[in-house]
C-alpha cells in the first residue's frame, strides 16, 4: 500500500517539475529521497495583497494517500481569514471533506493559490483576521500587504512607500506598543479579541482607572472586567 503512495507521488513530482507554466514548485522537505514530506511553493496571485510574494507550504503525504488528502499548512506567515496567522493551519474543504483521490498535490497547491484570491471570512480559520476583513477592509488589505512584504518577500511598491512616508502610516513595533499607552499588550488584546480597537480599550481602561501594573499582565477581576466591557459597549 505504501509503495502505491510512493509511486504516485513520484509521478506527481515529475509532473509538477515538467510544468513550468504554473510556477508551482515542489521539493523534499528534509531528506532528498523522502517523498512523504515535501515543501511546495507558489507565487501570490496578482491583484491581491499577496502579489509578488512567494508562499511555502508544508506538505505531508499520509499513508493511505491518495484516499485521504495531503496534510498541508502554510510555512510562510499569511494574513488571510482562512489561514491561521499563528500556525499556518488552513481551512479549505478540498483538503478535508471535499477531497477526492483524483486530486493531486499540484491541484491542492493551486487551490491554495486560489484561496488567497478568494478569502471567505464567513468560514474563518483565524477569527481575528476575518473580523478585520469584514469590519475594516482597508486595514485588512494593509496588514495583508505588510505581511506579504515582511514574510513572503513581496517587493514594497514605490507608491506604497511614498504613501507610507507621507501619511506616516507604517507602524513600527514601537508605534504599535505606544498605542497601548503603558498597559500590557496581552491585557488589552483580550478585549481586542472581542472586536474592539486598541485605542478604544485603552481609553476605557483609563476612564475606569485601571492600574497599569508596570506594563505587566494581570487578572482584572470580574468587577473591573464588567465595568470596562460596559464602557466599551457604550452603556
CB closer to another protein out of 2 and 176: 2
Is the CB of residue 56 less than 8 Å from the CB of residue 75? yes
At its nearest, how many Å lie between another protein and the CB of residue 95? 12
CB closer to another protein out of 80 and 106: 106
Per the listing, cell 482562512 goes with 82
Of 92, 125, 85, 105, nearest in space to 22 by CA: 105
186 grid coordinates = 496581552
CB closer to another protein out of 8 and 179: 8
CB closer to another protein out of 64 and 186: 64
Q: Which residues bind another protein (CB under 8 A)?
A: 1, 3-4, 7-8, 11-12, 66-68, 97, 99-102
At its nearest, how many Å lie between another protein and the CB of residue 59? 17
Helix (H) or strand (E) holding 67: none
Per the listing, cell 493531486 goes with 104
DSSP H stretches of helix in the chain: 2-18, 105-117, 127-135, 137-151, 158-167, 173-178, 185-192, 198-208, 221-232
Q: What angle do CA 59, 64, 67 make, to 5 degrees?
A: 90
Cα atoms in the Cβ-side hemisphere of radius 13 Å centred on 210: 32
Concerning whether 91 is annotated as a catalytic residue, the answer is: yes
Q: Compute the Cα dihedral for 37, 42, 48, 53 and give only its sign.
A: positive
At its nearest, how many Å lie between another protein and the CB of residue 109? 17
CB closer to another protein out of 7 and 135: 7
Strand partners, 56: 41
31 grid coordinates = 531528506
At its nearest, how many Å lie between another protein and the CB of residue 3? 7
The active-site residue out of 38, 59, 83, 91 is: 91
Strand partners, 48: none
At its nearest, how many Å lie between another protein and the CB of residue 181? 51
Catalytic center residues? 91
Amino acid at each position: 500500500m505504501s509503495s502505491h503512495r510512493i509511486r504516485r507521488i513520484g509521478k506527481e513530482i515529475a509532473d509538477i517539475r515538467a510544468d513550468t507554466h504554473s510556477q508551482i514548485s515542489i521539493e523534499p522537505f528534509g531528506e532528498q529521497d523522502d517523498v512523504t514530506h515535501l515543501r511546495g511553493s507558489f507565487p501570490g496571485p496578482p491583484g491581491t495583497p499577496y502579489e509578488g510574494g512567494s508562499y511555502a507550504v508544508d506538505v505531508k503525504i499520509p499513508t493511505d494517500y491518495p484516499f485521504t488528502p495531503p496534510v498541508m499548512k502554510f510555512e510562510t506567515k499569511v494574513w488571510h481569514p482562512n489561514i491561521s496567522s499563528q500556525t499556518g493551519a488552513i481551512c479549505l474543504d478540498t483538503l478535508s471533506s471535499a477531497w477526492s483521490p483524483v486530486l493531486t498535490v499540484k491541484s491542492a497547491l493551486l487551490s491554495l493559490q486560489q484561496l488567497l484570491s478568494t478569502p471567505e471570512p464567513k468560514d474563518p480559520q483565524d477569527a481575528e483576521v476575518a473580523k478585520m476583513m469584514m469590519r475594516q477592509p482597508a486595514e485588512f488589505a494593509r496588514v495583508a500587504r505588510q505581511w506579504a512584504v515582511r514574510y513572503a518577500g513581496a517587493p514594497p511598491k514605490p507608491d506604497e512607500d511614498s504613501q507610507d512616508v507621507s501619511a506616516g502610516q507604517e507602524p513600527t513595533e514601537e508605534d504599535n506598543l505606544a498605542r497601548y499607552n503603558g498597559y500590557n499588550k496581552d491585557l488589552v488584546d483580550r478585549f481586542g479579541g472581542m472586536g474592539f480597537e486598541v485605542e478604544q480599550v485603552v481609553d476605557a481602561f483609563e476612564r475606569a482607572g485601571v492600574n497599569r501594573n508596570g506594563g505587566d499582565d494581570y487578572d482584572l477581576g470580574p468587577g473591573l472586567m464588567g465595568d470596562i466591557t460596559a464602557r466599551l459597549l457604550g452603556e
